[in-house]
Structure 1
Amino acid sequence: MIEIHQFPCLADNYGYLVHDGASGETVCIDTPDADRYLAEAAARGWRITQIWNTHWHADHAGGNAAVKDATGCTITAPAGDAAKIAGVDRTADQGDTVTLGEHVAQVLAVGGHTLGHVAYHLPDAGAAFVGDALFALGCGRMFEGTPVQFWTSLSRLKALPPETLVYCAHEYTASNARFALHADPDNAALAAYAGEVTARRAQDLPTVPSPLVRELATNPFLRADDPALQSRWGGGDAVATFAALRAAKDSFR
């Protein structure tokens, strides 16, 4: 049985510990706050054996060294970002797999936010850990990649089973919802989703994880191939529409 423990850390990150009861293994999905990860694992009596990094940014890999020093865990990092990540034991890229006990996770190349960004799809848990590539109602800022690369990455995530729960790395959903409503104002499913987000955040409840099927219907960045959004935002194809949406979100207030 796989258990996923989600907890807030830093200003708006989510930390994830994924535990396999059969083997006793526990993997950290990124390490934004080493002390918090170690404390959360200790409180559950879980032994950290691995880290799976999604990308190189400090609020994702900054705790690697401290967690490894404390636990002796092994670190898997994206091949394209590994030179910027501490303590890497193994690199992974599109088509590779990593294991937690007997459970196999598929590695997806989802560059765009950073060039080497990866996600980890763990079918046995019905979960995808996507870092900053995809957010509930949004996607990561395109710091290093290109629109073609980023749309290709999002297309890989779109192709996962629709019931997959998307575990993103930040609580950005309320802000993302405001832009999504601006981008796609006639989407009734989006309006309903945004209302639920407002209600949950008013109670200080998380909006993550999010079912992929809901993101497919409401997240404008996943819908850049939709004719209605292409008509509204121009470009005539998914890549151009994605680029227009991403640029608009960058300056949206």
Structure 2
Amino acid sequence: MIEVHQFACLSDNYGYLVHDRASGETVCIDTPDAEACLAAARARGWTITQVWNTHWHPDHAGGNLAVKAATGCTITAPAGDSARIEGIDRTVDGGDTVTIGALTAEVIAVGGHTLGHVAYHLPEAGIAFVGDALFALGCGRMFEGTPEQFWASLARLKALPPETRIHCAHEYTQSNARFAVHADPDNAALAAYAAEVTERRSIGLPTVPMPLDRELACNPFLRADDPALQARWGCGDAVATFAALRAAKDGFR
């Protein structure tokens, strides 16, 4: 029904093109590098018809105007971040929907990294594009939100079908794995995941996308509601545990 093309750009970003064969539409998820996005589309004979921004940071929305000038595409962006995003045609928030061809994507509010951050979930395709809200074995830095907001955002992602393939925006997994093992050293599934990450990166393979069910078992930021992890981190609830984990990761070397 649809085809997703993932490509590396900038220093560690991933760009995504979502192509609907029936309608010929192509959505660019964020615009980290305008020329890389346009070149990836040209190489496949696709024309970008839409951009779906996840948040305002320049490595996600900085190429909007250049892509729009080259293609005439329409740009959808989160309402909460719209003051800092250029070229917007439509704003969305959690509970809204967007479409590519006959497929509908649900917009999920995932503020915390930025206040207005959103994710796009295509249930029929079993995929979600989460920007910097969630990473393989990690989550984004809490630049603008609160622990309560960010944990509520992650809880919305946790509630997606466990087989959902999560497409995040950066290749941070090796660094995240080192912290995850530090945070949750007795997790055998996590140890196996970390070893696989090391192997894949040693031969230049991406670690993204990742199945949600594996993140639910291994990603400490998604397990802040687990009593064993709460006990290890000396916290009595999910929000406090998430906050402790996020603060520890910010200073982890």
TM-score range, shorter chain: over 0.9
Question: Equivalent residues in 2 for 1:33-182 (5 A)?
Answer: 33-182=33-182
Cross-structure match for 2:240: 240
Aligned-pair CA distance for 1:123 = 1.3
Cross-structure match for 1:16: 16
- What percentage of aligned pairs have identical amino acids? 81
Please give the TM-score of this superposition, normalised by the length of structure 1.
Answer: 1.00
Alignment deviations for residues 50-102 of structure 1 (CA, whole Å, 9 cap, x no partner): 00000000000000000000000000000100110000000000100000000
1:13 counterpart letter in structure 2: N
Cross-structure match for 1:206: 206
Cα distance in structure 2, aligned partners of 1:58 and 1:4: 23
Contact 1:120 1:129 in 2 (8 A): yes
The number of residues matched between the two structures is: 253
Q: Secondary structure at the match of 1:191?
A: helix
Cα distance in structure 1, aligned partners of 2:235 and 2:78: 32
Cα distance in structure 2, aligned partners of 1:126 and 1:208: 15
Aligned-pair CA distance for 1:235 = 2.0
Please give the TM-score of this superposition, normalised by the length of structure 2.
Answer: 1.00
Q: Secondary structure at the match of 1:81?
A: helix
Contact 1:121 1:129 in 2 (8 A): yes
1:9 counterpart letter in structure 2: C
Alignment deviations for residues 137-165 of structure 1 (CA, whole Å, 9 cap, x no partner): 00000000000000000000000000000
Contact 1:111 1:150 in 2 (8 A): yes
* Higher mean C-alpha displacement, 227-236 vs 103-112: 227-236
CA RMSD across the alignment: 0.4
Aligned-pair CA distance for 1:47 = 1.2
Q: Secondary structure at the match of 1:154?
A: helix
Question: Equivalent residues in 2 for 1:188-203 (5 A)?
Answer: 188-203=188-203
Q: Which runs of 5+ in 1 are unaligned?
A: none
Cα distance in structure 2, aligned partners of 1:64 and 1:31: 6
Alignment deviations for residues 93-117 of structure 1 (CA, whole Å, 9 cap, x no partner): 0100000000000000000000000
